[in-house]
Amino acid sequence: MFYAYAETLLALGRSDEALQWFLRSAAADVDGVTDAEERVSELA
């Protein structure tokens, strides 16, 4: 859910907020299913 919200924010041009939600997504993704950590690196 965090990841999808982050993607939506990014699509709306709200990259600062998207970064925060990608950080939350990465923290919740203990199995590494998403590429949230990579997205954080791209936006940071």
pLDDT in tens, 1-44: 999 999 999 999 999 999 999 999 999 999 999 999 999 999 99
Q: Give the domain ranges of the chain.
A: 2-43
Is there a contact between 24 and 2 (Cβ–Cβ < 8 Å)?
A: yes
3 state SS for the chain? CHHHHHHHHHHCCCHHHHHHHHHHHHHHCCCCCCCHHHHHHHHC
16-21, long-range: CB < 8 A, 24+ apart: 18/43, 19/43, 19/44
Is there a contact between 27 and 37 (Cβ–Cβ < 8 Å)?
A: no
Quote the pTM value. Answer: 0.91
What's the pLDDT at 39? 96
What's the pLDDT at 31? 95
